[in-house]
Amino acid sequence: MKTKKILALLLALVLVCSTALVACGEKAEAEKPATTENSDAVVQQDEDTITTAAAEEVTEETQMDEVQIVDYNLGTEPQTLDIARGTDMYSSQVLVETTEGLTRVLQDENGVDKITPAGAESWEVSEDGLVWTFHLRDYNWEDGKAVTAMDFEYGVKRVLKPETASQYAFLLYPILNAQEYNTGDAEADAVGVKALDEKTLQFTLAAPCAYFEALSAFKTTYPQRQDVVEEHGEKWGSEADLTLSCGPFKVTEWVHDNMIVLEKNPAYWDADSVILEKINMHIIKDQDASYNSLFNGSIDLGGVSKPEWVQKFNETGDYYLIKGYTAGTNYSIFNTKDPLFSNVKVRQAFSLAIQRQEIADVIFNGIFEPAYGWVSPALACQGTEYRAAAGNPLEKLAEQYPDPKALLIEGLKELGMDEDPSKITVTYLNSGTTQWSRTYTEFLQQMYQQALGINLEGEYVEWGVYSQRVENLEFQMGGAAWTGDYNDPMTFLDLFVSGTGIIPTGWESAEYDALIKEVQGSMDKDVRIENFKKAEQMVIVDEAIVAPTVYRKRNTFVRNYVKNMMIPLFGGGVEFKYAYMDGKTK
């Protein structure tokens, strides 16, 4: 990290260096144990990946700054730091550093994501794959109280509780009776999660799940303290003093729309491995302001895409560069309840009219790649690269309908509307008010005028307003991005199951729901890939409820003095647990 993630398309450029999530995708994503002390800004497993900083072992002789503070651009205000309700990548970035779940996503010396023991020292799986038993280590919350298996059981059930209205509850549906409880058809006691004792947590699944180990690192399975959550109610997670850490860092300050400050948590079980004393998470929304902050040293790492700035950073010799896929896809979203976009041919025409290569080259300066599928090329299905197996469905659709405008006119005829596209005006909802957002919309205006002959108008709102508008289906068309939460195509395809609400389009399909349920219960890789292909075909071709535009890739410049930092593909964002500073204050 699904790593939830609807991400602001505006911020897709500013935050090239970030992954989920958290879910948003935050989107999070991953696998199993690896030593991390030897990792230094390990990068994505991609042929274009480069780093100019060599890994080095942390020993007693390792040189470190006396002041251990890193500055990072979070980019946007998190929705909330309530584990059950935070669905954006910004909350995931904070939560991954302040919470110790059952497992943690780290990277090995080759830059490959690994699921590593964290709050759980070990775990075992029954022969039939249905029962997962996790054994917790001794560790505490920041107030000194022990983290127990009951905290994990409460956390899972709180995410599933209908009254919580967690958008990420569907991720837990592989657990026995989880969906039934979440939809009001079963009691909490029927859910297959149970604290056998203070240190033993057991999950019982409805069917074997190929990606359940990856879910053990995601925030939907994080522990939550019932006493403090219930004491503060709806305010929980809205201020620094309304959070509770059991991870490497704790939240000590939150100046809304300005900065979140994390400080080392002395109560953390592995505090001796944490070198940084403080992480200043700045909230800088403007792209050029972010670049300037990185250049003048106000922040220590950040995504850069403008060619003139890339050259400027390269020429200094003060940075190393991390490149590679981020397991994210930018897309346009259609409101299928809107009179115009209720017609599938209209949606297909708008998707086919997208000049994906030009968007990648012009808008994202050749860093991102044109997306002719939905699932990011970064994802694998049980070891097989999914994108290579699935091909590019939108290219086949373009062969079937070479003239998008003619297809649009067919759709208008079916709707009984005026068949003259020039009389159509569509409003495109943007999740930002900056100049970049306006420039992007102007590009879309020209693109759609040329390809379809329609008029496009931009509407510009802040992220919080955007997400609420989309959730309420108060839009025609808009832009967003999704970053996967774990390394399986399911993290891109279960989003469209009825009732999830992660990507609100107004579209539901019993056929699609049944297809995804079948995949969830299968361990056969070939069967899963074929069904994933069918699901992807339905979402972006047959029904065209979303239109992917580009696959996200990172182009992150990191100051040379930032050591042992990781950016896993999955896991919630940049991993600072083992990072340290060597040369910033010299």
DSSP letter at 218?
Answer: S
Given a cut of 50, whether residue 31 has pLDDT beyond it is no
Does residue 217 or residue 499 have the better pLDDT? Answer: 217
In angstroms, the CA 93 to CA 3 distance is 10
In angstroms, the CA 343 to CA 335 distance is 10
Q: Are strands 193-197 and 131-136 parallel, antiparallel or unpaired?
A: unpaired
Report residue 49: phi and psi, to 5°.
-65, 135
Note every long-range contact of 274-278, with CB atoms under 8 Å and residues 24 or more positions apart, other chains counting. 274/248, 274/249, 274/577, 274/578, 275/58, 275/64, 275/68, 275/578, 275/579, 275/580, 276/68, 276/69, 276/70, 276/249, 276/576, 276/579, 276/580, 276/581, 277/67, 277/68, 277/69, 278/68, 278/69, 278/70
In angstroms, the CA 111 to CA 554 distance is 14
H/E element, 133? strand 131-136
Let me know if residue 84 belongs to a domain: no
For residues 322, 323, 328, 332, the Cα torsion angle rounded to the nearest 10 degrees is: 120
In angstroms, the CA 136 to CA 130 distance is 19
For the segment 40-54, the average pLDDT, to the nearest whole number, is: 33
Report residue 99: phi and psi, to 5°.
-130, 135
pLDDT of residue 43: 27
DSSP letter at 25?
Answer: B
Determine what percent of the chain is predicted with pLDDT higher than 90. 78
How is 238-267 classified by DSSP, letter by letter?
SSGGG----SSEEEEEEETTTEEEEEE-TT
CATH number at residue 528: 3.10.105.10
In angstroms, the CA 361 to CA 366 distance is 4
For the segment 65-87, the average pLDDT, to the nearest whole number, is: 94
Report residue 419: phi and psi, to 5°.
-85, 10
pLDDT of residue 57: 56
H/E element, 320? strand 319-334
Given a cut of 70, whether residue 25 has pLDDT beyond it is no
Query: pLDDT per residue over 516-545, tens digit each?
Result: 999 988 899 999 999 999 999 999 999 999
Full-model pTM: 0.82
* Residue indicated by tokens 């592989």: 174
Residues contacting residue 479 through CB under 8 Å, at least 6 positions apart: 9, 10, 330, 331, 332, 333, 428, 429, 430, 431, 440, 549
pLDDT of residue 501: 83
Let me know if residue 89 belongs to a domain: no
Let me know if residue 449 belongs to a domain: yes
Let me know if residue 490 belongs to a domain: yes
For the segment 490-507, the average pLDDT, to the nearest whole number, is: 92
Number of domains in the chain: 1
Query: pLDDT per residue over 277-300, tens digit each?
Result: 999 999 998 889 999 999 999 999
From 11-25, 121-135, 226-240, 278-292, the region with the lowest mean pLDDT:
11-25
Let me know if residue 297 belongs to a domain: no
Let me know if residue 332 belongs to a domain: yes
Given a cut of 70, whether residue 49 has pLDDT beyond it is no
State the amino acid at position 529 in one-letter form. Answer: I
Let me know if residue 482 belongs to a domain: yes
Question: Coil, helix or strand for 526?
Answer: helix
Nearest to 428 by CA among 438, 413, 419: 438
Domain membership of residue 397 as a residue range: 325-553
Let me know if residue 447 belongs to a domain: yes
Counting beta carbons within 10 angstroms of the beta carbon of residue 525, is it exposed (0 to 12), middle (13 to 18) or buried (19 or more)? middle
Quick check: 24 and 30 in contact, CB under 8 A?
A: no
